[in-house]
Structures are given as structure tokens and as C-alpha cells.
Amino acid sequence: MPKGITIIKGGKVALHERDDFEELDIAFEGGRIVELGTGLKGDAIIDLRGFLILPGGIDPHVHFDDPGFTDREDFYSGTSAAASGGITTVIDMPCTSIPPVTNIENYRAKLKAIRQKAIIDYGIFGGVCSQMFDGGFAGQMESLTDVVLGFKTYFLSGMDSFGRLDHFQFERVLEVAKKLDLPVLLHAEDPDYVISATDYWRKRGSTPTNYYKSRPEIAENIAVCAATAVASCVDADLHIVHLSSGDSAAFIDDGRISAETAPHYLAFDLADFERIGSPLKVNPPIKSAVNRKALWESIANGRISFVASDHAPCGLAEKNTGSIWTDYSGIPGTGTLLPFMFSEGFSKGRISLSRLTSATSLNAAKRYKIDHRKGSIRIGKDADFTIIDPSAKWVIEGNKFLSKGKITPFEGMRFEGRVVKTMVRGELVYDYETGVTIRPGYGQPVTRFKSI
């Protein structure tokens, strides 16, 4: 880390809840921002003339598969991919690790496996699955209180090792989480609908449209309606992950209930799914075109709090099994999250600058109570910056991703604005010209209270 005070000069800065960039100097020391102003002096100068400086991006929904499925991704490749897209903090899901993060022992095993690999900062979610109800699920949740940022659950799960919760189990989890002052995250698709519809449509052919019909808007709407009703009765914090139906956003109207969506739901519709096929297979699946407009509107008006990538890559063999029903569900996305939102959201006028920075940084930091360090460019916070060349136009090429996953539905898409540098706690971790610039293990775990 640079010694003394370092000054960033010349760039245009996106400050907290401002809709115009400001020409300001940023002074940081010891990894924290110490002054904002003009004419600042320090021990070292970084000239960013011509560039935009955004608060470091937060991707609050990634599956980095470490430990256990590192043929798909690991924490070095995953955080490297994130940094290349201006992400300075990720939050990793508990369910795609062996063992899953369902108690403190499993958390410690995960932390041991990943902490010497990360190049950016990271949080971890705990998880609650049906298997935990054979024992003391509440005690396992309590053991994770000080180290996780929330608890992930499923109404519909594709993992035998991480079973879905029924509504009664979900209510009990919400009650415990409320006492622990932690949010519950939910994958919201209705199992009764999906199981029956899958049996029906699978017999009628292996097409993207048939796959969509097995998990259409109504399957999500039913689940979100039920989940928000239960959460309201308990008065607990609930967060709906990867919202894909525009109608589902109507249920997100309570101060303790929030939602995220993902770039692929903002970029693509069912016609694209038919055209692209398995590289666009995700769960919940891509929906009909009307949802894209509704989701953008919900981002713009704040009903949907933030965007997250749901980064979940795999190799070619898993993605191309010969049937849409068995092809792997998931795509690499952490490296394209912020560039997509800058290009297709802010640059094209769909969202304001303040909504851009809120949806890609501040709101996730607030939701998971790490905003004492992350989420905005303010004195006292970490010197985390995403530096963008607004004049650059570039084309997505999956084979150049730093992720192990190279198969992307964004292949060939042209974006405006390129991430040229990413800084975490005052250190340059990624440069477009030279790639990763920091040693593995630089990234730190972040909790609601402190680094550990």
C-alpha cells in the first residue's frame, strides 16, 4: 500500500446520491478516504484526467464454487473476473461449496480455502436448507451471526445437498433471523407449479421455450406473493434474489422486503433465449419481453434495490449436454455487471447517475450493513474505486474473461464505457492494459462489524 497520503486528481467523481459528476480530488491514506476537495496535496499523485471515478462496485450474489467445484470457478479466478469489471466487493453464496456454509465449522473451512486466493474484498452468506431441520437449525444459524451477511434459502432447489424449504420451515427461519438481525434471501419459484409443469413440457420437446414454460412468470409471482406474506406476518427482513418477472416487483412494497434483479433479465427476453440457447440458460429462466421494460422501470424508481450478477459459470461440456433440460443453469456475469449497467442503463438514459451508483454499490452495502466501509465515495470509507473511460467502445469476448467460465450470452455485445482500473483500499488490483496487478490473498473478508 502507498505510504503517506495519495491524491487522485483530474477525474470526474460520482458522489453519494448526486446526479452529476464532480471534478474533485480524492485523498486516501491507509486504505481509507481522508479528504475530498480541490487543490489537495499529498505524497503521491494519480492523474485520472479524462476518466470517471465511481464507488467500487459491489456484486452481492456470486457462486465462486470454492471449495468443492473449483473446476467451474475458484476465488482467484472469480475475484479476478470481478475486478476486471470494476467490482471491489463480492458476496458469495453458501450453497455451491463443499461443505455448504450452514454452520460455523463449514464457514471456517471455506474461509481457510479462499482467503489466500481473493484479490478483492468479499462477504459470505450463510445458508439454511431442509436437511438442517433434522437437527438444531437455529443453533447453526446462531453460530454464524457475527460472520455472515445473511441467510440464503430456496423454495425450489436444484441441489440435492441443499434442499428447499416449505412455507412453515421458511417462517421458522425468518423468526430466527429476525432475532439475529440478519436478512433472509430467497430463491422464489413455486415448486408445486414447476414440478408439474416440468413433467408436462419436458415430454413436449427440448426447446428454450418449453423450458421457460416450465418456470414462467406465474411460478415466480406465486412464490414471491407467498414469501412476502409470510415475511410481513413475522415482520422479518426478506430479500428476493434475481427477480425475473416484472409483476413480482409489485409485491416489493414493504420497508423490510427488498429485491434484486440481474443484467441478463434486463438485456434479454424469450426470443433471445430461443436464439442463443443454453448459453442463456439461467434459473429463473429468461422471460417474455414485457418483463424487461418493467424491471428497468423498477430499477429506475427504486422498487428493485440493486442488481447482482448471479455469477455461476461452468465449462463447455456441462453447458452443452444435448438437451436444454440437462444443460447447466448459470452464466459468468460478475465481470459484465457494472459495464452493462453503465452502458445500457446510465449511458442510454434508462437510469440516472445516482441510481447507477445506488444499484451497483450503495444499496447492497446498506442492505447487508457493510456501508460503514463500502458503497460510496465518502470520508472514512474504504478507498474502493471503479475507474471508467467513458469514450471507450468495446465488444464482449468470452474467451478473454478472467473467469474460468467463457460461455456468455453477452458475446458480441457492444458496450460504451470501459473499466480501465479498479482500486481496493487504495491499491490498484486491476488495470486494463496489464491485467491483475495484486497478489492473491490481498482481498479481505468483510462482515457487518469488522474485518476478520
d(CA 132, CA 122): 25
Which residue type does 443 have? G
CATH code for position 235:
3.20.20.140
Query: What sign results for the dihedral spanned by CA atoms 99, 103, 106, 111?
Result: positive
CB burial of residue 249 (10 Å; 0-12, 13-18, 19+): buried
Which residue type does 213 have? K
d(CA 397, CA 441): 27
150 lies in some domain: yes
Mean pLDDT of 99-122: 98
357 lies in some domain: yes
In this prediction, residue 2 carries a pLDDT of 57
What is the per-residue pLDDT across 292-343, written as a single tens digit (0 to 9) for each? 999 999 999 999 999 999 999 999 999 999 999 999 999 999 999 999 999 9
β-pairing verdict for 257-261 and 238-240: parallel
Q: Residue 451: is its pLDDT beyond 80?
A: no
Question: If pLDDT is split at 50, 70 and 90, which confidence band does 351 have?
Answer: very high
- The grid coordinates listed for 207 are 426447446
In this prediction, residue 330 carries a pLDDT of 98
Mean pLDDT of 81-108: 97
Residues 6+ apart with CB under 8 A from 337: 57, 59, 85, 87, 263, 307, 308, 309, 360
Going by C-alpha positions, the residue among 77, 2, 16, 125 that lies closest to residue 362 is 16
211 lies in some domain: yes
What is the per-residue pLDDT across 35-60, written as a single tens digit (0 to 9) for each? 999 999 999 999 999 999 999 999 99
Q: Residue 387: is its pLDDT beyond 60?
A: yes
d(CA 391, CA 177): 46
* 133 vs 3, more confident: 133
Q: Residue 160: is its pLDDT beyond 80?
A: yes
Mean pLDDT of 412-416: 98
Going by C-alpha positions, the residue among 136, 154, 138, 146 that lies closest to residue 94 is 154
Mean pLDDT of 213-225: 98
d(CA 303, CA 339): 22
- Check: CB of residue 337 under 8 Å from CB of residue 87: yes
In this prediction, residue 452 carries a pLDDT of 43
Q: Residue 135: is its pLDDT beyond 80?
A: no
CA-CA distances (angstroms) from residue 18 to 25, 45, 308, 354, 376?
16, 25, 22, 5, 11
Q: Containing domain of residue 341, as a range? A: 57-367
Number of domains in the chain: 1
435 lies in some domain: no
d(CA 66, CA 292): 32
265 lies in some domain: yes
Q: What is the DSSP letter of 382?
A: B
End-to-end alpha carbon distance in the chain = 19
Q: Residue 126: is its pLDDT beyond 90?
A: yes
Mean pLDDT of 256-282: 98
- Check: CB of residue 362 under 8 Å from CB of residue 371: yes
Q: Residue 365: is its pLDDT beyond 60?
A: yes
Query: What is the DSSP track for 9-56?
Result: ES-EE--TT-SS-EE-EEEEETTEEEEEESS---SEEEE-TT-EEEEP
Q: Residue 13: is its pLDDT beyond 50?
A: yes
- State the pTM of this model: 0.97
231 lies in some domain: yes
Question: If pLDDT is split at 50, 70 and 90, which confidence band does 1 have?
Answer: low
278 lies in some domain: yes
329 lies in some domain: yes
Q: Residue 254: is its pLDDT beyond 80?
A: no
d(CA 107, CA 113): 10
